[in-house]
Amino acid sequence: MVATRRILVIALSACAALMLAAPLAADPIDDFVRRHFDHPVAGDVSGWIEPAGRLTPDGCGVCHVQQRADWAGSRHARAVGPGLLAQIGPEGDGGACTRCHAPLAEQQRGTPHYRPELEQHGLYCAGCHVRNGTMWGPRPRRATAQQAAQSTHNGFRVSVAFSDSRFCGACHQFAEDGFRLNGKLLEDTVNEWRASPAGKAGKPCQSCHMPDRRHLWRGIHDPEMTAGALQTALERTGPRSALYRVTATNVGHRLPTYVTPRLTVRLVALDPSGQPVTSTTYAIQRRVDVWLQQELYDTRLKPGETATVSLTWRDADAVTAVVGSVLVEPDEYYERFFSAYTAESRAQRTQAAAALAEYRKSAYTVHRRWLKY
């Protein structure tokens, strides 16, 4: 309960900050993004015909098969999961959480627009593309696209904002006066991106997370995506020592960007029977306490940065192999949070238990390397 209130306050302050942050010198993209995500956003497609008029992902998927399939495997499709539901009651949250997790007016509990069948889809097609009966999309690939879409959703309006990092920033970046710990915004992904080689080269979030406009949004929960962001090297530095290097390479912000995941670099020396003789670990994380009162340390890697762990042992004969690896726990913070959290109702407690079970299953290991001694 304390948790709910505390987290709500944080989200609300972020929300308020976003509204206050209306830029004085109006940039057309900043302006578009602010209007587009001004909560709650009404889909309201009463004038449309089937199947687009259903406003469901399946309705869109009748024609946009690829986007429907890609999106279904993404975290955006799971943005209303047990972890969120454990924290918001039947009366709704006034948008504190749902403005990012389920932004449509039709998804808001306790309002006259509420359509329960839409809430479960989390952040889906209409939450990014439909506003007050108008379809919005990026610059089309084909000159005939407008005409082709005329009979279903009255064509569509174009905004170049869809291909810009600031579109993602509506939910992945706090405003300058948003919630901070140790002087740093809790969510600062767009700023980190601006400072990164990808940002400087003008490669937006979409170039890595939506390659060729695919609706994949793979991130830290995807072992292949994370493995692809790292380069590792395991080195023999002597008969009784080893070194393991982990470098962040193909990433457009800090690795990881949020306070919630933890990567643990491990180096273990094994005896002939495969038992550990000695070992060492190093955590890559922006570690915060469970109630978000303080930052304990921040060892996240900037793109290009390397974390190094070394291991020494006394008896050269005792060790026959050394193993380096990186353990990834995408939901490490949420595991701690839901272990400490007491939900108000029985239904919410059931959701909290389901969330905890999910987070505990999300860990995986990448870049396991062996060296014989």
What amino acid is encoded at 353 in this protein? A
The minimum distance between CB 298 and ligand HEC, in angstroms, equals 13
40 binds ligand HEC (CB under 6 A): no
For ligand HEC, the closer of residues 168 and 288 by Cβ is 168
d(Cα 306, Cα 308) in Å, to the nearest integer? 6
For ligand HEC, the closer of residues 311 and 329 by Cβ is 329
The count of residues interacting with ligand HEC (CB under 6 A) is 93
d(Cα 170, Cα 36) in Å, to the nearest integer? 9
The minimum distance between CB 369 and ligand HEC, in angstroms, equals 19
Task: Determine contact, residues 119/107, Cβ cutoff 8 Å.
Answer: yes
Q: HSE (CB half, 13 Å, CA atoms) of 45?
A: 25
94 binds ligand HEC (CB under 6 A): no
The minimum distance between CB 345 and ligand HEC, in angstroms, equals 15
- Residues 310-339 binding ligand HEC (CB under 6 A) are 330, 334
352 binds ligand HEC (CB under 6 A): no
For ligand HEC, the closer of residues 225 and 353 by Cβ is 225
Kindly write out the interface string for residues 10-29 of this chain, putting x where it contacts ligand HEC by CB under 6 A and - elsewhere.
-x--x---------------
Of 213, 287, 302, 349, the residue at the interface with ligand HEC (CB under 6 A) is: 213
The minimum distance between CB 105 and ligand HEC, in angstroms, equals 13
What would the two tokens of residue 111 be?
Answer: 């309002």
Burial 296-331 (b: 16+ CB within 10 A, else e): eeeebbebeeebebebebeeeeebebbbbbbbbbbb
The minimum distance between CB 302 and ligand HEC, in angstroms, equals 11
83 binds ligand HEC (CB under 6 A): yes
Of 13, 152, 232, 285, the residue at the interface with ligand HEC (CB under 6 A) is: 152
Piece of the chain touching ligand HEC by CB under 6 A; list 22-30, 131-139, 314-322, 340-348? 131-139
| Phi and psi torsions of 4, nearest 5° | -55, -50
148 binds ligand HEC (CB under 6 A): yes
Piece of the chain touching ligand HEC by CB under 6 A; list 142-150, 235-243, 271-279, 341-349? 142-150
Kindly write out the interface string for residues 157-176 of this chain, putting x where it contacts ligand HEC by CB under 6 A and - elsewhere.
-----xx-x-xx-xxx----
Task: Determine contact, residues 310/235, Cβ cutoff 8 Å.
Answer: no
Q: How many residues can be counted in the chain?
A: 373
Query: Which region, left, alpha or beta, applies to residue 128 given φ > 0 means left and ψ of -120 to 50 means alpha?
Result: alpha
Of 3, 34, 52, 118, the residue at the interface with ligand HEC (CB under 6 A) is: 52
For ligand HEC, the closer of residues 270 and 348 by Cβ is 348
User: Angle at Cα 25 formed by Cα 23 and Cα 27, nearest 5°?
Assistant: 80
- Residues 173-202 binding ligand HEC (CB under 6 A) are 189-190, 193, 198
127 binds ligand HEC (CB under 6 A): yes
Q: Which residue has the tokens 């006394």?
A: 314
Task: Output the CA–CA distances (angstroms, integers) from residue 151 to 14, 209, 212, in the order listed.
Answer: 40, 31, 26
105 binds ligand HEC (CB under 6 A): no
| Long-range contacts, stretch 188-197, CB < 8 angstroms, 24+ apart | 188/257, 189/253, 189/257, 189/258, 190/165, 190/166, 192/252, 192/253, 192/254, 192/257, 192/302, 193/165, 193/252, 193/253, 195/302, 196/251, 196/252, 196/253, 196/302, 196/303, 197/303, 197/304
User: Angle at Cα 210 formed by Cα 219 and Cα 248, nearest 5°?
Assistant: 40
The minimum distance between CB 234 and ligand HEC, in angstroms, equals 21
Closest-approach residue to ligand HEC (CB): 252
For ligand HEC, the closer of residues 104 and 322 by Cβ is 104
- Residues 240-279 binding ligand HEC (CB under 6 A) are 250-253, 255-258, 260-261
